Chains A and B, each alone.
Chain A
């Protein structure tokens, strides 16, 4: 029982950064009904720029954090301009394919920046742990959970309490009506990408600071985890993204403990498969799907 609770807590802690990745995907999906497959690679390249500073100038970990987030945002804007702004009208598939292609380019850029495969990434704290009763918590993972919680809280306030966030959600709920209320679509999409990259940059930094190493494969890994978490929760749903991320983290933690490390990723795919078969809309996505269908029927 204690193992079970311990694993669940570990899962929630790690799942919090999956949740941030899923929120990134879901914000852009909500506004554009498009998937940005280069999301993970953008975070990876942003983190590589942070790592580059760390490798060459031994800068402080906070500088690495800020650089990672800022560069992720820059790369995110680049991807939006190239894959989504330029190929936009009636070309959902084209922009998805081009975001996949740009992924390769971002990976190349990262390899040119730092040609060896693996680099050390600075941790926020020296790896440590503390005990609370029978349970053991790792310091870095606790920091990850706190960081994610703060980020989610800030995003929630932004999306529910400011006119900026409401305009973003309005576009996501009814693009046509939003356009006729004077909400500028191009800007909204760009802002959605900036928010996506902010969430992704923070998640990326938190994960890498916990793993304390970075490879070019991080892009693939982050895209997978974020996509799976989003699909679990329901595409386009923010609470769904949080729930999906935590669920994914918990299931992975249990698989890791009871089945072994090689089953960790496999369990994620199995979970996604089971969800898509039983509830194709995800945990909280059903309502959104049916509303879209309604909209189509009306048109």
Chain B
């Protein structure tokens, strides 16, 4: 479904991502982990087109994504959440979900006027489902800026789901969450996956990654050093060294 080959991004002399090959198959939940500064976020940003790649290709469902603007990638079925919450603060919870409905299905199912100027009954039902997914049904009329931190994270998750993605990129969704919230999040991730969405999860919180993913790719210094099931990755020597910083070339701080 998603195929990165030889993907590189250099910022001046720094190779943030270097010759990365990664394949994500349809219906999988794949984790992308690595120490700080290992290139995880850069990889997500390359997949979404925040900036252009230095070399290599991003293919999504066989289609070359290089150079395509964000809204076209979204039409193809790529959606993301942000590491720093990026909601629309002066829109209500309900409106945040409403403006995100820009998938090709939404475009073809509704005429121009109903799509931009009104909300059909179907729209309302779909948003009610999303509110249920995010557990925010009772706060639909609240401004996004008035939500608590955990609620904002949930809303961002639901907003990404509102774009009807085929592949959902989650950029550190569990940052700052407690045990209960992490359990809720993994339940939510499974629920979205079961509705037919493939998931690529970038995360620091090992509890979530090890519990929810089926395949994990480990990055260090922009390179992939391991790929496998959570069990395999945990036993991998190179991974253990990367996380303990035993044999970092030149830098022991990671």
Q: Which residues of A contact B (CB under 8 A)?
A: 162-164, 166-167, 169-170, 173-174, 176-185, 291, 298
Q: Which residues of B contact A (CB under 8 A)?
A: 48, 50, 69-71, 74-75, 79-80, 82, 84, 86-91, 95-96, 98-103, 115-119, 159, 162-163
Contact between A163 and B117, CB atoms less than 8 A apart: yes
For the complex formed, measure the closest distance between the CB of B85 and the CB atoms of chain A, giving whole angstroms.
9
Given A167-B99, A173-B88, A173-B91, are A181 and B118 neighbors across the interface (CB < 8 Å)? no
Q: Which residues of A contact B87 (CB under 8 A)?
A: 174, 177
Query: Cα distance A174–B87 when bound, in Å?
Result: 7
Query: Cα distance A153–B45 when bound, in Å?
Result: 40
Query: Cα distance A88–B80 when bound, in Å?
Result: 25
Q: Which residues of B contact A177 (CB under 8 A)?
A: 82, 86-88
Contact between B70 and A179, CB atoms less than 8 A apart: yes
Contact between B118 and A162, CB atoms less than 8 A apart: yes
Given A164-B116, A166-B98, A170-B99, are A179 and B86 neighbors across the interface (CB < 8 Å)? no
For residue A184, which residue of chain B has the nearest CB? B71
For the complex formed, measure the closest distance between the CB of B110 and the CB atoms of chain A, giving whole angstroms.
10
Given A166-B98, A169-B91, are A181 and B119 neighbors across the interface (CB < 8 Å)? no
Q: Which residues of A contact B159 (CB under 8 A)?
A: 181
For residue A173, which residue of chain B has the nearest CB? B88
For the complex formed, measure the closest distance between the CB of A88 and the CB atoms of chain B, giving whole angstroms.
12
For the complex formed, measure the closest distance between the CB of A121 and the CB atoms of chain B, giving whole angstroms.
34
Query: Cα distance A179–B74 when bound, in Å?
Result: 9
Contact between B84 and A298, CB atoms less than 8 A apart: yes
Given A163-B115, A298-B84, are A180 and B90 neighbors across the interface (CB < 8 Å)? no
- Residue in A166, A176, A185 whose beta carbon sits within 8 Å of that of B99 in the complex: A166
Contact between B79 and A180, CB atoms less than 8 A apart: yes
Given A180-B48, A180-B70, A181-B74, are A169 and B117 neighbors across the interface (CB < 8 Å)? no
